[in-house]
Structures are given as C-alpha cells and as structure tokens.
Amino acid sequence: MSGPMVVVAQIGLVVLVLALAHRPLGEYMARVFTSPRHLAVERAGYRVMRVDPDAEQRWSTYLMSLLGFSLAGVLLLYGLARLQDVLPMSLGASPFDPAGAWNTAVSFVTNTNWQSYSGEVAAGHLLQMTGLAVQNFVSAAVGLAVAVALVRGFARSGTDGRVGNFWADLVRGSVRVLLPLAFVAAVALVAGGVIQNFHAHTEITTLAGQTQHVLGGPVASQEAIKELGTNGGGFFNANSAHPYENPAPWTNVLEVVLLLLVPFSLPRTFGVMVGDRRQGWAVLATMGTLWAGAVALLTWAETAGPGLAPLAAGGAMEGKETRFGLAASALFAASTTGTSTGAVDAAHDSLTAPGGGVAIVNMLLGEVAPGGVGTGLYGMLVLAVVAVFLAGLMVGRTPEYLGKKIGRQEITLVALSVLTMPAIVLVGTAVAVATPEGRAGILNAGPHGLSEVLYAFTSAANNNGSAFAGLTVATPFYNTLLGLAMLAGRFVPIALVLALAGRLASQRSTPASAGTLPTHGPLFVGLLVSVTLVVVGLTFVPVLSLGPVVESLS
C-alpha cells in the first residue's frame, strides 16, 4: 500500500478495535465497581490491609486513604532507588542520588512516569519490577478510583457525602481490570518479539565488528501496563522506539490501542452507572472529536514540514524510528499526549514546530482527549460542569447536570480544579526561565528553548511524562521543581474532584424539566468541545505565541 493508505489503515484499525471494545469493556467496569461480591483473592488482601471493603467512606476519608496510600508508595519507591546497589538483581547499578530518587518516586506514584535517568543504565531488575511496574498498576488504579467516586457523586442522591470505599475501588481496579488486560497484552507483546527474561548485560558483536553490551529484562510485562495504565515510563531510555519494547509496526499499533483502550471505554462505564447511556455517548463523542483533531493536525504538521509545504522523502525523519515512519509516529505522539501516557516512539524534541505545538496543546487541554485511566473521565466531567454553568448563565437558569444543581460551592471547586494546572505550568515555566539553574538546562536558544521548558512543566503538571529531550533535567533544580509540579498537578485536582463528588452525592436529584439543558446531544457535545478549547486558548495563547507559534512562523 502507498503511504497515505498505510496511514488510513493504521488509524482505521485503531478506531475499529476501540469501537469493538467500548461497550463490553465499559459495561464490565461498571459491573466491577457496583458488584456487592468480593473475590477470594480480594478478601485476602483486605485482611492483610485490615480494612472493611463494605464500609462506605465520606469524600474526606476517601481522600485521606488515597493520600496515605500514595505517601507510602513514594517512601517505598524512594527507598528502593536509594538502596538498589545493596539489593538483589541490581545488575551493578548505583543508587539514585537523593534528588533523582525523589523525582522518580514522585513521578511513578503520580502516574507521570517522567524519567530523568536512562533505564538500562540506572535501574536494576528488582527496582524495575517491584518498584516501577507495581506503581504502574496502582497509580492507574488510583485514577480509576477517583473517576468512579465522582460518577457515584452524580448517581447518588441525598447521602451524607459517601462516595464508596477507596480500598475496595483500588483493589478491584487492579485485580479485575488492569491485571487481566495487562496479562493478555504482555502475551501478545511477547509473541510480537518484546523480550521477557531476567538476563543481565550480554556482550555481542555488531555487524560492523564493534562490541556492544545489550541488557535483557522483564520488559513485556512492564510494557503492557506502561501503555494500558497510561503510565509511559520506558524500560529503556529510547522508550517505545526501542526494538526490545516495540519491535514491529503492528506492535506499535497495538501499543497505541492499549494506551487508548481504558480511557475510551470509561464513558460507557459512566453512562451505565448514572443510568443514562446517552450521557456516556456525549462524553465519548467529545473525547473522540478532540483526539481525532489532534491526530489530523499532528500528522499534517509532520508530513507537511516546518514550512508547511510538502517535504522531500524522509525530510522530517530526524528523531523518528525508521520502522514506523512519520505517520505512525504522529499517531503515537497525538495519542500519548492526549492521554497521560507519555510513552514515545519518536523524539518529540525533533517534531516540527507546529507538530510540537500540537503535542503541547494536547496536554494543555488537561489530558481529557481521552485522558489517562480515570483522570480523563473526571477531567472531562469537570469541564462538563463548566459547560452547563455557562449555558445556565446564558439562559438565566440555575445550571444542572444529571439532576444535580451547580451552585456557588460546586462551581468554586470546579474553577479551582480547572485553574490548578495552568497555575503550575505558567509559574513553573517562569521560574525556570528566570533563574540561572533553569536556563542552564536549555539546549536550544530562542523560542524552541522556551518550548522545551514549557513542554516539561506541561508534561509534569498534567502527569504525562513525555519530554522535549533537549532539556537537561537530571539536575537537583529540575528534579525538585518538576517533582513538586507532579505532586500538585496530581493531588490538588484529586482533592477538589472528591470534594465535588461529596457535594453532589449529598444533594437530592432534581427531575428534568422543560427548561433543563439536554446534555446528551450534538449541541452539548459542540458546547463541551468549545469550552475545552476556549479554556486553553484564553489561558495559554501568550506563552504558546512566544514558543511554538513564533518558531513556526520563523
């Protein structure tokens, strides 16, 4: 097939698989989080943790459980990184320095998976398996739990703010959703050539007669949950461009499917749990419209080139893996920045100026197109509340969404949630470019250098994890500042979303009337898409104009 036909076939295959999985997976997850039954293995876990999975928690208790669990994860991962030289299967790797261990622990616990180190050099097999891979599961399950808690807030009526049990949601998300899917995905990746062993460095002789040391490891099992849990941290420094992580064009398509699978199925879960599947279709249509727009724009930018005129063959291949080519790299880049995955099969620093701009804007949307596991759904529902609030102002009615009135306290929580990420991104970028330590890490002068810094803080604040690789971040300054950005970008919105869930759950549902805004049709989808884009435009146009826009025009 010709180049354009290959592009269409790959995108069509991704869409087909996601469409086939949407209903069964979405409805299965709804049953998982509403079933009164506990599996035997789950009961054993609850006994070890000494928790009662049937005890409903108010939103504040749910939040404290989540924060305590996450803090324990940070401490454990920090200890593993600092002590890995005295632990088994370290492969001779040195312990992480304090700033690097802090950054890595925060990164994986917050589902960011930002890496300021080279995996094959800095991390041994024990740290990879018991530290990083475990967090890939549970950090994704935490996001899933928060989304389910918010959905319960919409679905319940007249409670005292109880939104479920964090420990039950965490265990069910891990055991019933992520583990089975990751197992199947890992087997498929092994069949495709991804390695899965415990080998240390093996000395080989290349075709050119040079000696090279190649690392083995349990890669397939980590690659599967890396994509499925929208994590993104690579076993190797080249991430999904490495042939041991992503051997062939078809495994590249599989990995794109994996990172989109759960986020695009969760709207079905939402529709089932609130008792109106049409609401799920509206959220899905909004996510799909934004994702399709990003794929189209990034593909156009990479194939048209810096001057937006057709390129000579291979003209934009810098930083691209030749096994995949421009279009597949653009599809991966749009999908990984539209979710909170951050995995890459190409160097994003080598994207064309407009292509890099699309990747940045994709994250600045708030990771809702379709977003990460759980985080995309609750982020989109927050924006849906903004949309109905604005519509209510225009017609002079008290805004309602799914029978819940959006009053002063609800919209205050929503506004704070929406403003958290821009504040982190803009303040962090300003601090970095205004200090000598921050400017020292910038590789390129001018607007591209600003784009490197902006991309880093956008990635950290949105818990994405991908990077413009030109920025040197393995320094105490960036390790500390980006770690703080990851923590704030993860847990401040979670606290506000859970508070909103508690407020909604305590309300009595209001029956729909003739004046109620329908939130399940094309009109609302258009409004929600517009609100998402306008929030980004009003907030970030100035800094984008100084970075990607100026670079594109020059």
Give the pLDDT confidence of 321-345 residue by residue, as tens digits. Answer: 888 888 899 999 999 999 989 899 9
Domain extent for 240 = 3-541
- Residue 164's H or E segment, with its range, is strand 162-164
Counted domains in the chain:
1
pLDDT in tens, 139-153: 999 999 999 999 999
Cβ-contact 355, 348 below 8 angstroms: no
Residue 310 inside a domain? The answer is yes
- Residue 261's H or E segment, with its range, is helix 249-273
Count CA within 13 A, CB hemisphere, residue 271.
Answer: 23
> What is the rounded CA–CA span in Å between residue 55 and residue 110?
26
pLDDT score at 353: 84
Residue 9 inside a domain? The answer is yes
Residue 498 inside a domain? The answer is yes
Q: Give the mean model confidence (pLDDT) for residues 82-89.
A: 92
Cβ-contact 540, 422 below 8 angstroms: yes
Given a cut of 60, is residue 309 above it in pLDDT? no
> What is the rounded CA–CA span in Å between residue 509 and residue 535?
29
Given a cut of 50, is residue 310 above it in pLDDT? no
Beta strands, E only, 388-511: 400-401, 404-405
pTM given for the model: 0.94
pLDDT in tens, 192-238: 999 999 998 888 888 888 888 888 999 999 999 999 999 999 999 89
Residue with the bigger pLDDT between 447 and 525: it is 525
Given a cut of 60, is residue 360 above it in pLDDT? yes
Express the helix, strand and coil content of the chain in percent, nearest 5 each: 65, 5, 30
Given a cut of 50, is residue 311 above it in pLDDT? no
Q: How confident is the model at residue 510 (pLDDT cuts 50, 70, 90)?
A: confident
Cβ-contact 353, 236 below 8 angstroms: no
- Give the single-character DSSP code of 208: T
Given a cut of 80, is residue 2 above it in pLDDT? no
Residue 71 inside a domain? The answer is yes
Beta strands, E only, 223-349: none
Residue 553 inside a domain? The answer is no
Lowest mean pLDDT among 3-12, 126-135, 439-448: 3-12
> What is the rounded CA–CA span in Å between residue 386 and residue 239?
37
Q: How many residues does the chain have?
A: 554
> What is the rounded CA–CA span in Å between residue 533 and residue 98?
39
- Give the single-character DSSP code of 239: G
> Percent of the chain beyond pLDDT 90?
70
Characterise 12 by phi-psi region: left (phi > 0), alpha (psi -120 to 50), beta (else). Answer: alpha
- The average confidence (pLDDT) of the chain is 91
Cα dihedral sign, 460-461-466-472: negative
> What is the rounded CA–CA span in Å between residue 26 and residue 270?
8
Cβ-contact 268, 278 below 8 angstroms: no
- Say whether 391 sits in a helix, a strand or coil: helix
Buried b (16+ CB within 10 A) or exposed e, 247-283: beeebbbbbbbbbbbbbbbbbbbbbbbbebbebbbbb
Q: How confident is the model at residue 469 (pLDDT cuts 50, 70, 90)?
A: confident
- Give the single-character DSSP code of 175: I
Q: Give the mean model confidence (pLDDT) for residues 509-529.
A: 87
Q: How confident is the model at residue 316 (pLDDT cuts 50, 70, 90)?
A: confident
Can you list the alpha helix ranges (DSSP code H) found in 33-90? 40-49, 59-83
Q: DSSP string of 407-429?
A: -HHHHHHHHHHHHHHHHHHHHHH
User: At residue 366, what is the residue type?
Assistant: G
Q: Give residues with Cβ within 8 angstroms of 71, minimum separation 6.
A: none
Residue 301 inside a domain? The answer is yes
Angle at alpha carbon of residue 292, lines to 287 and 295, rounded to 5°: 125
pLDDT in tens, 32-78: 999 999 999 999 999 999 999 999 999 999 999 999 999 999 999 99
Residue 339 inside a domain? The answer is yes
pLDDT score at 8: 84
Strands 57-58, 162-164: pairing is: antiparallel
Q: Give residues with Cβ within 8 angstroms of 501, minimum separation 6.
A: 59, 149, 150, 152, 153, 163
Given a cut of 50, is residue 265 above it in pLDDT? yes
- Say whether 116 sits in a helix, a strand or coil: coil
- Nearest Cα residue to 502 out of 413, 373, 371: 413
